[in-house]
Chain A
């Protein structure tokens, strides 16, 4: 049981990294990765929202949508729940962590429409439908892993971005073009992890 959970967790971070393998959540990945501090703050908020969103959407899906035969409503219901959760997180941050609230600025509301968060909640349900061993706990671990994977990608890319700042880049590539090229190279490097988890935990 624990073995399979570890496998789910590691897979979500490395082989199925939501940013670098599934290309979800590219907007904050490019937007907030300029500085390490905001990247870590944003990732913290994403981890929190991802786990919370999965914890709430899974029971809603399994106990309300499936019995009523309304699986097709999952996108809109999930967006609704996630939007509410992000608002709640925003209120809590404003109250208890004002520095983080100020540094996250516009990006916290952006988690509302962050496809990585929506992607995690929907993909765990897809996984569960194909694998009966994939339980509620696995879904939560998967969400946590996805969040940590987001953090890893953000922190790594913040390092790359900081080096881009100081390097001599041809005029045509300056700014976003070189950032996208760098992002694609980082994504390719993550292909190296494929098969790692399956062979590591048998």
Chain B
């Protein structure tokens, strides 16, 4: 027989055998795909922001499908996605509070001043490491906008030296919370509630020298609050948003003007 024919037969034969084995193996050892997880993944936003605490949307979808995760952890998706996920999973939606980030500082250029001429790297992180911030207040917003750069939804602006979050565009993905070297950004529910816009833990006198809008821990707000939602710890008031009814009495009482609605 022609050696070329033998060569062709041998190579083709081996290819055929290998192909058959693979075909059988791919059926026998097929991994059952979780169709529920795939369907959930379809309706998730696909931002892979990690706000839910899972490794990206696919991780959250898998956890939702096997029932180990709560629905409503997806901050960027909001109510819409919760409803869609509930539809896929065949469960009741429940209501999800829309949340937003808020900067606990109102130390704008009108209220406070710089303590130095800063000529270094223009990031909050660098300024914070070097001198603890450029402003007189060691707790407040530095205003170089690390949070602005971290925000993927264009929801943060630095206005007059202090970062401000626009709750309309904020998806509460917590990226700004993570990058802020002063830890003055937190996530709160969007509702009519009062917020202490100060993070200064210094005693009243020191705070007053640093910023005209700083919380001095005078405790006036705690006394007027009808629901007991306000606490003062370490010379700084904080409001429990789940108890706050949004009556506005603390805002009217605060002489410093650091409580806003």
Known: A91-B29, A94-B31. A77 touches B10 (CB 8 A): yes
Q: Is A202 an interface residue (CB 8 A)?
A: no
Identity of the chain A residue whose Cβ is nearest the Cβ of B6 in the assembled complex: A68
Q: Is A106 an interface residue (CB 8 A)?
A: no
Considering the chains assembled together, what is the distance between the CA atoms of A86 and B6 in angstroms? 26
Contacts of A77 on B, CB cut-off 8 Å? 10-11, 14
Q: Is A152 an interface residue (CB 8 A)?
A: no
Contact with B along A84-102 (1 / 0, CB 8 A): 1001100110110010000
Known: A80-B18, A81-B18, A84-B21. A91 touches B26 (CB 8 A): yes
Considering the chains assembled together, what is the distance between the CA atoms of A57 and B19 in angstroms? 16
Known: A64-B10, A65-B10, A73-B7. A88 touches B25 (CB 8 A): yes
Contact with A along B12-51 (1 / 0, CB 8 A): 0011001101100110011100000000000000000000
**Most chain A beta-carbon neighbours within 10 Å: one of B18, B19, B26, B31:** B18
Q: Is B3 an interface residue (CB 8 A)?
A: yes
Chain A min CB distance to B197 (Å)? 41
In the complex the two chains form, is B6's CB within 8 Å of A80's CB?
no
Q: Is A60 an interface residue (CB 8 A)?
A: yes
For window 31-81 of A, CB contacts with B under 8 Å fall at: 60, 64-65, 68-70, 73, 76-77, 80-81
Considering the chains assembled together, what is the distance between the CA atoms of A65 and B30 in angstroms? 34
Chain A min CB distance to B54 (Å)? 15
Chain A min CB distance to B94 (Å)? 32
Identity of the chain B residue whose Cβ is nearest the Cβ of A83 in the assembled complex: B18
In the complex the two chains form, is B14's CB within 8 Å of A91's CB?
no
In the complex the two chains form, is A95's CB within 8 Å of B18's CB?
no
Q: Residue B22 contacts which of A84, A94, A95, A98 (CB distance < 8 angstroms)?
A: A84
Known: A68-B3, A70-B6. A80 touches B11 (CB 8 A): yes
Q: Summarize A's interface: helix, strand, loop or mixed.
A: helix
Known: A77-B14, A84-B21. A95 touches B6 (CB 8 A): no
In the complex the two chains form, is A69's CB within 8 Å of B3's CB?
yes
Q: Residue B29 contacts which of A83, A95, A98 (CB distance < 8 angstroms)?
A: A95
Known: A80-B14, A95-B29. A70 touches B3 (CB 8 A): yes
Known: A70-B3, A95-B31. A84 touches B10 (CB 8 A): no
Q: Residue B25 contacts which of A60, A68, A91 (CB distance < 8 angstroms)?
A: A91
Q: Residue A76 contacts which of B3, B11, B25 (CB distance < 8 angstroms)?
A: B11
Q: Residue A68 contacts which of B10, B22, B31 (CB distance < 8 angstroms)?
A: B10
Chain B min CB distance to A117 (Å)? 15
Known: A80-B18, A81-B18, A84-B18. A92 touches B29 (CB 8 A): yes
Considering the chains assembled together, what is the distance between the CA atoms of A200 and B245 in angstroms? 84
Which residues of B pack against A, CB within 8 Å? 3, 6-7, 10-11, 14-15, 18-19, 21-22, 25-26, 29-31
A–B pairs, 19, beta carbons within 8 Å = A60-B14, A64-B10, A70-B10, A73-B10, A76-B11, A77-B14, A80-B14, A81-B18, A84-B18, A84-B22, A87-B22, A88-B21, A88-B22, A88-B25, A91-B29, A92-B25, A94-B29, A94-B31, A95-B31
Q: Using A69-B3, A84-B21, A95-B30 as known contacts, list a sample of 17 further A-B pairs with CB atoms less than 8 Å apart, ordered by residue number in A.
A: A60-B14, A68-B6, A68-B7, A70-B3, A70-B7, A70-B10, A73-B7, A73-B11, A81-B14, A81-B18, A84-B19, A88-B21, A88-B25, A92-B25, A92-B29, A94-B31, A98-B31
Q: Across chains A and B, which 3 residue pairs bring their CB atoms closest together, nearest first? A: A84-B18, A95-B29, A91-B29
